[in-house]
Structures are given as C-alpha cells and as structure tokens.
Amino acid sequence: MSLPSKIFLIAGLAGVLILPAARGQKPEVDAQGHRWWQHAVFYEIYPRSFADSNGDGIGDLDGITSKLDYLKALGVDAIWITPFFPSPQVDFGYDVSDYQAIDPMYGTMADFDKLSAESKKRNIRLILDFVVNHTSDRHKWFLDSKSSRTAEHRDWYIWRDGKSPGQPPNNWLSTFGLSAWKYDPSTKQYYYHYFYPEQPDLNWRNPAVEKAMFDTTRFWYKRGVSGFRLDAVDTMFEDPNLKDNPPAPGTDKFGRPNTVEKYNKKLPEIHLALQRLRKVADEYNAVLIGETWTSDVSQLREYYGAHNNELQLPMDLLLNGLPFSADAYRKHVAAVDSSGGWPVYVITNHDIVRSYTRYADGKHNDEIAKLMAAFYLTLRGTAIMYYGEELGMENNDPKSRDEVQDPVGKLSWPTDKGRDGERTPMQWTPGRNAGFTQAKPWLPVPPSAETHNVVTEEANPDSILSVYKKLLAMRHDEPALVEGDYRSVNNDDPNVFAYLRRFKNEALLVVLNFSNARQSVKFDLGAQGLASAKTRTALASGASRAGKDTITLEPFGFHIEKMTL
C-alpha cells in the first residue's frame, strides 16, 4: 500500500478527516494536513514527443495511454501534458485556437476520455496546460476581435492606436524577438503580443475574458482533470496606460537594447485573478501549478498568495540557473524551503536545456544525473519530472538553422538554437528512432539513445532509470521523505551538500557530493538528537559508510542513510 493510502486508512480509523475528492466536498488531507498534490510526483509529458501510436512521426494521446503502465511502474502519480488542443502549432500548441477540444494530430475527445479513464484506474492524475496569457490568432475570439473595431470580441484583446503614424503604441518587446505590437491594416490599430505575433494577448481586465477562461477550467474539471499548469502567468496583465518600459544596460539575444519589463510583467492585478481562479480550483480539489519566472526566491511568496489562496505550486525555476556547487544549492534550497509555501522543484522542462546536458562534465555524466535525481527527489516539497530525465536523455540541438523547428531558434540562431534540443522523442528502445515511431520522427533522436533508453536501462540495476525508480519508491514509502522537515547539516562543507529529512522517530540523511573528487565526510548528529539512532543505508551510488559516523563518496556520488530512534 502506498504511503498516502496508508495514512488515509490510519486517519480514517482514528476518526480524522477523510473525505472523497468530489466537487463541493472538503478535500482529502492526511494526518499531517497534507493534500494529494503534496504527496504526488508529477511528470511532464510533451505529447509530440512521448509515443507515436499512429505512425505519423508525432506523438499522440493514445501513445500516452499505451505508456501508463511504464509511468505507474516508475512511480509517477500525476502527469502534466503540455497543450494538445487545436492549434496552428506556431508555438507547438502554446497557440491555442480552441480550449475545449483536441487537435486531430493528437487524437479525439474519445481518446482523451480513454486516457483519463485508464489513468484513473492506475491512480495517476491528469494535469493540463492552461495557456492563460494569449490565444492563437486563429481562435474564433481573435478572428472576431480583428474583424472590426466594434466587434463583440474587440476588447478581448489589447488593441491601441500607434504613438504616431508607423509607430507602435510603446516600446514593449516581444520575448520572441521584434516589437510586441502588430499593426492590423484593416482596422488600423495595433494588437499586443508578448510572444509570437500569432499569439495575441488576452485582455484579462475584461470580465467576459475571465468568465470564458474560468469556464474552460470547469469544462476540464468535469472531464476528470485534477488541475492545471498555468502558462506564462507573469504576463497576464499590462499597465492600462501602456507606459514605456525603462531602458536597461546591454542588449538581448536578438541584439535589441534591453529594457526592464516594469509595465508588462508581474502586475499586482495578476494576484486578484489567481485568487478567483483558485476558488474555482478549490471546488474540484484541484491544483494550480505556475510557470513562475521569479527573479528572486522571495517572489514565490507572492504567487502562493498572502493567505495561501493563489497557486499551490509556483515553480521555482531559478534552481535551473544555479552554479553547480554544494554551497549554491544549500543556500538556494534554504531560501525556497523557507519561502512560506510548499516548495516545488523542477530541474528542467520543454523550454530549458536538459539537466543531463547542463551539468555534464564529459566524464561523470551519468553519476551527475543520478546525483541530481537524489537531490530533487529527496527534498521537502513536490517534484516535477520531465519525460526522459529518468533515462539521462540529453539535448539534441539542431546542427544548422535549416533543421530548426522552433521559430525562436530561427530568430536567434546561432546565439540560441531554440528549444528543439530538449524536446526530442522519448527513448524507449535501442535501435530505430528509439522506438518512438515507425515513421520519421518530427525531431531526431541523439546517438546516446542507443544506451540511454527504457529497455536497456531497465536491465541494468545501476542505470539512471533504476536509481529514479528506487528514489520514487522511497518517496512513497518513507514517511520522512513525504512528511519530514528539512534541515541542512555540515553547512561549511564546500563540496558535499547534506541534509536531514526528519519525521517523528525517523530520519533520512541525504549526502550529495557536488565535487569531482573523492570526499570523506564525518557527521555528528548528536545535536539533532540522533546520536543513538540505529542506521542503515537506504540507497547509495558511488558511496559507502566508512565507520560509524563517516561516509565516503566518489566524485558526484550520493548516499542516503536511514536513521531510526
């Protein structure tokens, strides 16, 4: 029995709150007051690249359904699927033209219902991606909005006159290059787009927009969805007076002078809208995960909400830019852990170079991948994996501009090669196309797929995949990992990051060697009241105990010691 089920059973026997998760009823909490999304391990799936069931070189919903047993055996509790709604695919689904349907390239609504039912059978929850900031320029709302200045949906988007003939309304920049304004010659006004011109920003100041968008979440909740990952929340609102952003030193990757995005990002109004969206989510015991690009850990607090009434899980994406050192990680985790909400750890996603590639030193690549797994899967908080991380999938960047699929990669080539590299097909088997498709895959698999794939790694007890499976099993079985507090120890060690996860009379000591040299570390846990604890190694890779209080670690090795009082 998994830990949450055990807790609910015990809680139930003890007469503690235990209620089903249906609409209008109080949510399930365990004896520690934790909700399902605090216990769950989330797994992000980029549907174009997960599994192709119909041989067109592109992944689909039936492909995901066919792999649910793999996900269950891995230890995943919830899958977040990036957009599979109808879309012209300018931004590979993040340009939605209908929020309440399925793009035929991914299947049908019946396929979705089958995925939902099969997931439910396996106790895997579904999380969808909710693109709140913008729609596609092919969405019927925008087509109407563009049709005339007096159209019913005109004010659903942000239309303005130019500053002067030929001049956009202000100096705001699209994050994907060029101006953030596109001129429409037929109605002689500009519309605002923070991303591609094909992604016009919605006007969230219009209550009709809010209602339509909130209704979209209800539509999916009623179809069994357990929550949403909110895309680009930072940019939902803009200054109504459209003030120019102040200049900043330097130029960006497109060669444009930098500006401070003061008037089109992180406006206070976002929080009021999130509070209202959260009320809807609460009716369904659902979770809201945020794509929150904070520039400082303290900003996470704002997204949790003053009364924890906004996003339950704002992602800490700063972790992905940290220098690879014990000290940097120790300081960062301390800040996130004390940020006031339930922490969320992510080490890569479909917009960020894969962690395997980011941290590789050319010599200990697999060891580093295992170390990173032991790190983010043993912290206090929720972990969100990215498909293929568990295999040590690496980036496979385009070799020339002609090969690039991601438009931003074409615009910023060669400074930035775009995001194709981290979106390549899941590596299921050795051999042709890594078992992803019978056809030509939409992106090529790297040569390392020959060794880093599910079949090969399942046969090897020391593979990255085997380490992930053991760590995920521990997350479900060890109360200290789910419920325990977090306390770092040996804080002056420049090479080894170590911490305790303590719950009642048990603790796990996690010891991570962030250096490429062998380290021998001594622990004195008397001050933690653990001097007399019985100890045993719960999991280790490239590490062993050397005497009662000492652990020896090979370069990038990790050791997890279980202590029981």
Measured between alpha carbons, how far is 257 from 466 in angstroms, rounded to an integer? 47
- Looking at the Cβ atoms of 76 and 289, the one nearer to ligand NOJ is 289
- Looking at the Cβ atoms of 195 and 220, the one nearer to ligand NOJ is 195
Residues in the chain: 565
Scan residues 343-362 and list those touching ligand NOJ (CB under 6 A): 350-351
- Looking at the Cβ atoms of 408 and 509, the one nearer to ligand NOJ is 408
Scan residues 385-444 and list those touching ligand NOJ (CB under 6 A): none
Report, in Å, the least distance between residue 393 CB and ligand NOJ: 18
Report, in Å, the least distance between residue 246 CB and ligand NOJ: 24
Judge contact between 337 and 346, C-beta under 8 A.
no
CA 429 vs CA 47, 59, 366, 432, 460: distances in Å? 18, 16, 18, 8, 14
- Looking at the Cβ atoms of 292 and 396, the one nearer to ligand NOJ is 292
Rg (C-alpha) for the chain, rounded Å, is: 24
Q: Which two tokens stand for residue 482?
A: 């789910």
- Looking at the Cβ atoms of 358 and 502, the one nearer to ligand NOJ is 358
Report, in Å, the least distance between residue 408 CB and ligand NOJ: 8
**Count of residues near ligand NOJ by CB under 6 A:** 9
Is 283 assigned a catalytic role?
A: yes
- Looking at the Cβ atoms of 199 and 378, the one nearer to ligand NOJ is 199
Judge contact between 10 and 48, C-beta under 8 A.
no
Is 215 assigned a catalytic role?
A: no
Measured between alpha carbons, how far is 222 from 341 in angstroms, rounded to an integer? 28
Q: Does 288 contact ligand NOJ by CB under 6 A?
A: no
Report, in Å, the least distance between residue 390 CB and ligand NOJ: 20
Judge contact between 202 and 132, C-beta under 8 A.
yes
- Looking at the Cβ atoms of 103 and 291, the one nearer to ligand NOJ is 291
Report, in Å, the least distance between residue 351 CB and ligand NOJ: 5
Peptide bond into 414 cis (omega under 30): yes
Using CB atoms, what's the residue nearest to ligand NOJ? Answer: 94
> Which listed residue (30, 52, 60, 91) binds ligand NOJ by CB under 6 A?
91
DSSP states of 353-399: --HHHHH--SSSHHHHHHHHHHHHTSSSSEEEEETTGGGT------S
Closest CA to 330 of 493, 468, 484, 480: 493
Q: Does 30 contact ligand NOJ by CB under 6 A?
A: no
Measured between alpha carbons, how far is 434 from 425 in angstroms, rounded to an integer? 8
Burial of residue 226 (CB within 10 Å: 0-12, 13-18, 19+) is: buried
* DSSP state at residue 310: S
> Which listed residue (29, 40, 127, 131) binds ligand NOJ by CB under 6 A?
131
Report, in Å, the least distance between residue 235 CB and ligand NOJ: 9
- Looking at the Cβ atoms of 87 and 116, the one nearer to ligand NOJ is 87
Scan residues 170-209 and list those touching ligand NOJ (CB under 6 A): 195
Report, in Å, the least distance between residue 263 CB and ligand NOJ: 19
Scan residues 306-335 and list those touching ligand NOJ (CB under 6 A): none
Measured between alpha carbons, how far is 317 from 349 in angstroms, rounded to an integer? 10
Measured between alpha carbons, how far is 475 from 40 in angstroms, rounded to an integer? 9
Burial of residue 133 (CB within 10 Å: 0-12, 13-18, 19+) is: buried
- Looking at the Cβ atoms of 177 and 224, the one nearer to ligand NOJ is 177
Catalytic residue among 252, 283, 450, 549: 283
Report, in Å, the least distance between residue 406 CB and ligand NOJ: 8
Q: Does 231 contact ligand NOJ by CB under 6 A?
A: yes
Catalytic residue among 77, 231, 316, 394: 231
Q: Does 142 contact ligand NOJ by CB under 6 A?
A: no
**Cα dihedral 302, 297, 371, 430 sign:** positive
Q: Does 94 contact ligand NOJ by CB under 6 A?
A: yes
> Which listed residue (44, 198, 201, 291) binds ligand NOJ by CB under 6 A?
291
Q: Which two tokens stand for residue 117?
A: 């039912």
Residue 347 in 3-state DSSP? coil
Measured between alpha carbons, how far is 521 from 511 in angstroms, rounded to an integer? 9
Report, in Å, the least distance between residue 378 CB and ligand NOJ: 26
> Which listed residue (232, 286, 372, 512) binds ligand NOJ by CB under 6 A?
232
Measured between alpha carbons, how far is 541 from 560 in angstroms, rounded to an integer? 9
Give the residue numbers marked as catalytic: 231, 283
Which residues bind to ligand NOJ, rule: CB under 6 A? 91, 94, 131, 195, 231-232, 291, 350-351
